[in-house]
Amino acid sequence: MHSLRQLLALICCLSMPVLFAADRIAPSAIVLAEVYRQGIDVTQYLVSEKYDGVRGIWDGKTLRHRSGNLISAPAWFVASLPPTPLDGELWLARGKFSELAKIIRRAQPIDDEWRQVRYMIFELPNATGTFSERAQRIKIMVNELKVPWLQAVDQFPVANTAALMKLFKHYVKGGAEGLMLHRSDSPYVTGRSDVLLKLKPLPDAEARVIAYVPGKGKFVGLVGALEVEMSDGKRFRIGSGLSDADRANPPPIGSLVTYRYQELTARGIPRFPRFWRVREEF
């Protein structure tokens, strides 16, 4: 027989709202990029700008992050999206990621802010055909819908590696984060795959802040470095790239930060890590 306390606990649990089902959708299997490396036949790929935005997956009814969390977009923003599943990047402009993150993070979206956001489409989840064919279907669909905030990512071929590198320097000089390469003959695939490659000035990764290292010299009284932990348990410190504001109000313990580095040591530790920004966990 249940005790009175057990019965009360059971009633309490049964009466609680199930927030998980309403606020979160299971993450979708989507394509994730590998890092570009020398020796790849770039003529087999279509190239596009790497947009510094927030990944948005539309399943035909709801817009969500790759984590599965719902994106709090205004009703009018999603009302004109097609029933076709879409994969793309919510984007403001080059160098505007922080402003975009603030917009996306609000539980109650602000219309004037969202009218600046563009949904840059680069894939049709689970669609048939080669990527080249899917890219063409995206372009046709966007042109027919005529939704101002829905845009097709421009995909184009390059003649050779030299042409790719020249283009890369031009985009980066203009403020772009880098380039993406998508194998033109690939069917739709999910997971991390070399059918999709990212080319950036320096590789980047994420690590969890676990402690602060006190500053010395001109940084006395401030944070000198962040002690961080990688997903595999390896620990190291990030001191470069922190602004005075970051040192006075550092990323919270437990937060995920993105850093850039030159290469990995034999032990798998980043060489010359440089703080880039707090990694938004939506």
Residues tagged active-site: 50
- The DSSP bridge partners found for residue 182 are 46, 196
Report whether 185 contacts 44 (CB < 8 A). yes
Q: What is the rounded distance in angstroms from the CA atom of residue 159 to the CA atom of residue 176?
A: 21
Report whether 113 contacts 179 (CB < 8 A). no
Query: Minimal CA–CA distance to 161: which of 50, 48, 42?
Result: 42
- Identify the helix (H) or strand (E) that includes residue 9: helix 4-15
Q: How many CA atoms lie within 13 A of 45 on its CB side?
A: 20
As given in the structure block, the two tokens for residue 214 are 């006190």
